[in-house]
Structure 1
């Protein structure tokens, strides 16, 4: 009897595994994004502007078979940034980062025809910093001509968490075009200025704490095999 139960358990497990495998689809994803960082703690003459970046990497989609519900997982190399301009002297600088992002998305697909689906999606995105520009050094160069001092990198966070919201279309069951907006839930950078201000820093910051959160649009193209 025990052997029979074990046999049924194994067969049931293999059946579930096979069913899940049939719902798994690998793909490739690439796109552009426009980042509008939400920066606080800087003086009013410093303005932020969107800076175009990109993302690229593999993805995995799981079709649950339940009322059009699907799960997407991606592993993306991402470059994003922000352009800061000192309106008092017209100088500007681009501050960029490179990261590995892992967005996880719950999607609801609505079939319009055999070859055309609409979908809505939402889910968290986890970002792991791999390289960054030095905030302090670049800001100093738009405040004055140059200084002989290494300024702080302004506390880049090694990990960020955001929320993706959006949707798109799937064409002939393989090609996906999507547009999402990412809302930063944690800071991309934070630095306590405190009482250790330099003359140049006084020209840039207003208050004792500087922080930044990423907010960006993503326009992506993916092909699922």
Structure 2
């Protein structure tokens, strides 16, 4: 089901390329990369250890060269998988919590020509994320609790959309190949849930307080090729 949604979105964007590709300064490209994700989580007990989880992103992109003092605009449509590893230090049990989404980053770049075949660039812009699939936080946390829990716990309030901002830069080689490194700062929550009376006694040690919330923070190392 997830891949069908991704294929439909990519096919729709691909159909637009023959129409828009004839515009001066507009170029089609492909982007792929890895993510170093560490969610900014609040409401978890201090005995729950959070670790980076490597994810990935892949999809098509459009780049528009404005011709004005090295400014360019990038638009991407990316299939993204993110995750975070949670470990209960009380019993050593751990679990991976992952999400899949369609991300649309929009980037304003300033390119600085070093030579005919080598440019440096800086970039900034918003990123919009649309959730297509997610792990159940509650069920995952139940697996690392000290006591076994049979009941089906809440999915912990995943948000269907997120907004963040990308900051970074990179290098462009022979006007086609781009290697970039960006940091994404989540501006909106990726998940929020009021524990309250839904908190099960067996996982009391996992939470600190009655509200659980999370924002995404992650590094992106990407390789793009612009035709």
The alignment's TM-score, normalised by the length of structure 1, stands at: 0.90
Matches within 5 A, 1:1-225: 21-144=23-146, 146-225=148-227
SS at match of 1:39: strand
Structure 2 residue runs without a partner (length 5+): 1-19
Query: 1:198, CA displacement in angstroms?
Result: 1.1
Query: 1:204, CA displacement in angstroms?
Result: 1.2
Deviation larger for 188-197 or 78-87: 188-197
The 8 Å contact of residues 191 and 213 in structure 2, kept in 1 or not, is answered as yes
Which runs of structure 1 show a deviation greater than 6 angstroms over 4 or more consecutive aligned residues?
A: none
Distance 2:29 2:194 in 1: 42
Distance 2:45 2:202 in 1: 12
Query: 1:88, CA displacement in angstroms?
Result: 1.1
The 8 Å contact of residues 35 and 219 in structure 2, kept in 1 or not, is answered as yes
Distance 1:66 1:23 in 2: 11
1:41-87, Cα deviation, whole Å (9 max, x unpaired)? 01110011100000000000000000000000000000001000111
Provide the residue aligned with 1:11 in structure 2: none
What count of residue pairs does the alignment treat as equivalent?
209
Distance 1:164 1:155 in 2: 24
The alignment's TM-score, normalised by the length of structure 2, stands at: 0.89
